[in-house]
Amino acid sequence: MRYIKTIIVSLFLVLTLMPLRAQVFTQVNEIAAPISATGSSNMATAADAWALLVNQAGLSRLEWIEVVSGFYKPYGLSFYSSQIGILAVPVGKLGTVAIGYQGSSSDYSGNSLTSESSYSISHGFYLQKDIISTLSIGYTVNLYQIDYGQSAGTSGDGSDGINLGSGYGFGIDLGIQGSLHERSWIGLFAKNVNSPEMGSALSSSRLPRSLAVGFGYEPYYGLKTNFLIFQAIGGHKTQYRAGIEYRVMSWMIMRCGVNTEPNRIGFGFGINKWGLLIDYAFVSHPVLPETHQFSLGYSFKKR
């Protein structure tokens, strides 16, 4: 009964913290603060609820319920916002199940121009685990939705335009994560492996697909180094990402990282105290203004 109450409370928190509007189709690196602060390089070592976004296989390492939510305005743009919410629940030997929401919207003069949403169900579990090595796999089923808002209309601001409609699509993500002595990690992640499309006939468009391979190494407890090679399918340049996570205190982690194409740096911190999860990230850009990201969450870890 207590376990059920915990899940209900978690659902309430994630629905409260998650936004009402959202986006996910544009390929961006700045997903959430704990990820962006490392240069979006920590796919191989992901081991919490945020793993749903970068490598679902990492969910298998979660031992307690977590609920997290992130929010930010990309490049400080006032008309554009992005939000995320995730609830992850371990289910014993079956691994961990998570539900997630990602989204963003563009608004002008109080009118919605476009909004994109993704609703996800994810599962990560161990294929093999012993004192020397581990191997886990994860998958996610995503429901994508886009709302084109209204046309400009005679007023020019969309207040008296016509509804431009909406679209839906389904995508499947796959992830693999392996470790040796819990000090060396390797991860693989494929986004939209089923090549999903949205729309039909001449209006059909293929959703972004990508492939990533990552490596992690912990030379000593509290310091994790990450490196990742990311390739968006469709003629895009290969990105290289690297980052460090350093636990300066039992309840505080410092993060920094870099990535190419375009060249950016990120840094931030994470606080885990009394079950509260607070994260911040700063991400630069060679042309656009910087991005500030925040996330809040709660871990139901036994104390």
Provide the Cα torsion 271, 82, 7, 135; round to 10°.
-70
pLDDT at 76: 82
CATH of the domain at 255: 2.40.160.60
pLDDT at 31: 83
pLDDT at 201: 56
pLDDT at 35: 95
Task: Determine the Cα–Cα distance for residues 212 and 209; give it in Å rounded to an integer.
Answer: 10
How many structural domains is the chain composed of? 1
246 is in which domain, residue-wise? 2-299
pLDDT at 243: 97
pTM: 0.84
In terms of C-beta density within 10 A (0-12 exposed, 13-18 middle, 19 or more buried), how is residue 68 classed? buried
- DSSP-assigned beta bridge partners for residue 262: none
Q: Average pLDDT per run of 10 along the chain, which is 303 residues long? A: 43 38 50 93 96 96 95 84 94 95 80 83 96 96 84 62 76 96 96 85 76 95 96 89 96 96 94 96 92 95 70
pLDDT at 267: 97
Check if the beta carbon of residue 278 is closer than 8 Å to that of residue 75: no
- DSSP-assigned beta bridge partners for residue 247: 253
The CA-based angle 48-50-52, given to 5 degrees, is 105
Which residue, among 130, 137, 131, has the nearest Cα to 60 in the 3D structure? 137
pLDDT at 85: 95
pLDDT at 207: 86
pLDDT at 251: 94
pLDDT at 81: 84
